[in-house]
Chain A
Amino acid sequence: MNMHAQPQSTPAETALIDAFGERLSHLPGDGEVALKRDQSVEALKRGLPTRRIETWHYTDLRRLLTAVPEFDATLAGKPAAPLIEGSPVLALLNGVAARPVAIEGVDVERISEKLGDGTYAPALGPQGADDAIGALNSAFVADGWLLNIADGTVLDKPIELQNVQAGGQVHARLAAKVGAGVTATIVERQTGSGDALVSCVDNVVVGDGSHVTWVIVQEQPESATHLGQFNAWIGKDAKLTLFFMNAGGRLVRQEIRVAAKGEGSDFQLRGVNLLSGDTHTDVTMVLDHEVPHTGSREIVRNVVTGKAKGVFQGRINVHQYAQKTDAKMACNTLLLSDDGEFSTKPELEIFADDVQCGHGATVTEIDHGHLFYLMARGVSEKSARGLLVKAFLAEVIEELEDEQLVEALEAKLDRWFATHG
């Protein structure tokens, strides 16, 4: 018996490889782009990651990705009302960019055009052997949006990017090249009505001195698979705040890969995982502090009901020259059911000696004393639990400076709790 034989491909792996053969002629780009797609498929052919791959230890994609829906070009998503009234919306409807809107200070490009003319080739291909999302997305990506935000632009409303799926497969890119001295908020909505397999890779470059807030709201139906990857590079004295809310999906992996590239740069991660049903949600972050005098804070709060499983892996690499790094990470879970679970894996890799780094994790249940107090004032059990869940998350959500955004996110939380709490 040959112990080193590749295990037989799973139906999902076979379906992906077959789909590539069928899709290839419909995908934009040749030359360098096609080469990158081929390389990406070669990576997929080596098999989806299993728990033996360290970064996928808690999310055995090979086992969990049980079915891959077929591409269906006849499906079309419908754009949603923006989270904040009056936001300019750039939609992707079942993977295809809708009509662009004009936004002052922002040059909007379609990724399909940049694939077509080959200029997007450098952004394709997996980054490393464990980058299954990068490989899958690079092989199949058909469209997306690229925002070029000019130096000094101050956006008065968030720009909303919508990736709305109606089923089948959707592989998209959302990218932003943010110039220097920009103040901008981008809202990314991952939503839809189908049982799609979605991959979405974001590449965000934050120019020197800019302040960018990026908000990902993922609320796929409980039948969809969502594979997200957010990559960012932060320039000198620039600040990036990434907020995410996961409130849907059957199988969800959101990767976050951030590099603090410029001195004085700052990264803030605030995340909320609302997990219910028989679902699996994994948030995996790798943060590199590459230069001196950079800071970061990560606060992830999880609410778990039903039989849901959640994972947060947070790895902070402090490079050798990155003195005076100030990095702190916290992951707090509120368990609302006995059958739910949440795993946390913090990792600090520190090669500099003059740094302040720390992490902490807690798991709690609803405090019975608090619940009794609220109920003794006539608040029904369900509402009382809702108030306490909101209280647990309030700190993370309310830190966003935009009040309308806070209200919109709290409304989403209320709605989630009404059906799942």
Chain B
Amino acid sequence: MLEIKNLHARIVEDGTEIIRGLNLTVNAGEVAAIMGPNGSGKSTLSYILAGKEDYDVTEGDILYNGESILEMDPAERAAAGIFLAFQYPMEIPGVATMEFLKVAMNEQRKARGEEPLKVPELLKRVKAASATLQMDMGMLKRPLNVGFSGGEKKRAEILQMKLLEPKLCVMDETDSGLDIDALKVVADGVNSLRAPDRAIVVITHYQRLLEYIVPDAVHVLYKGQVIKSGDKSLALELEANGYAGVIGEAA
């Protein structure tokens, strides 16, 4: 489903190379974990997948279902089924959350040539999804993410993911800032999305989340490269011994 080949990318503003020859394959139906110390380029990779303009791809390619997405803008990628749950979701004053959900769902439908959802159907879906995430509907009247607590923001990201039904879900540190109860609710939300035609990429640097969302593959990202891949036991090994061993091996 996702194939990243020898990807090199720099920050447009100052030319610093952050992603340095990264290779990664994620198959449909799979949950892949990406782990790595702070600053290794995990968020940058997620932004590049989503199409953020701040980065320039200088070499390599990203194939999604066999086709390069590098020329697509973020909205086109989203409509094609790529979703990024942000590590730090943006607060957007003046845009009511409910209005935003309506526009996002229907713009994606339009891009795929589907009929827009009518308001009652839309409300029904939002209500159902909010309930499973134990979210208060009242929150959705407020401006998008404005004044939401850290945990509320993360839940709002998962709510969007459930409603938009993407095919490739990338979750950047969704576990950070969540207490254990919230973590379970979010993990249940993610597990309910597991499907043979969907891939889920979980970025984290703790093993904790992976107890609830059990990965099929684990990749270690360091200095802009995947330096080691394995199964879920790799996560346990990292938890026990830290990154130093893996980094030493690769060096």
Contact = CB atoms under 8 A, between A and B. Distances in A.
Interface string B185-211: 000000000000000000000000000
Nearest to B47: A372
B103 A388 contact: no
Interface string B101-131: 0011001100100000000000000000000
B154 to A, nearest CB: 15
Nearest to B111: A378
Interface residues of A, number: 22
A390 B94 contact: yes
Contacts of A394: 94
B164 A377 contact: yes
B92 interface: yes
B92 A378 contact: no
Contact of A373 (B86, B93, B103, B111): B86
Interface residues of B, number: 29
A373 B84 CA distance: 9
A374 B164 contact: no
A381 interface: yes
A380 interface: yes
B151 to A, nearest CB: 19
A387 B100 CA distance: 8
Interface stretch (B30-38, B49-57, B134-142, B220-228): B49-57
A395 B143 CA distance: 12
Interface string B50-89: 1111000000000000000000011101110001101001
B95 interface: yes
A384 interface: yes
Given A376-B78, A377-B164, A388-B95, A383 B107 contact: yes
B75 A380 contact: yes
B92 A373 contact: yes
A5 interface: no
Given A375-B78, A378-B75, A380-B75, A368 B92 contact: no
B104 A379 contact: yes
B90 interface: yes
Contact of A375 (B75, B89, B92, B93): B75
Nearest to B85: A376
Nearest to B163: A377
A380 B107 contact: yes
B160 interface: yes
Contact of A395 (B94, B103, B111): B94
A217 B84 CA distance: 42
B52 A372 contact: yes
A12 to B, nearest CB: 42
A377 B160 contact: yes
A122 interface: no
Given A376-B51, A387-B100, A381 B92 contact: no
Given A377-B164, A378-B107, A391-B93, 13 more contacts: A370-B90, A374-B104, A375-B78, A376-B77, A376-B78, A379-B104, A380-B107, A383-B103, A388-B92, A388-B95, A390-B95, A391-B95, A394-B94
A392 B86 CA distance: 23
Nearest to B108: A378
B93 A379 contact: no
A63 to B, nearest CB: 38
B172 to A, nearest CB: 12
Contacts of A391: 92-95, 143
A373 B107 contact: no
A369 interface: yes
Contacts of B51: 375-376
A394 B104 CA distance: 19
B73 A373 contact: no
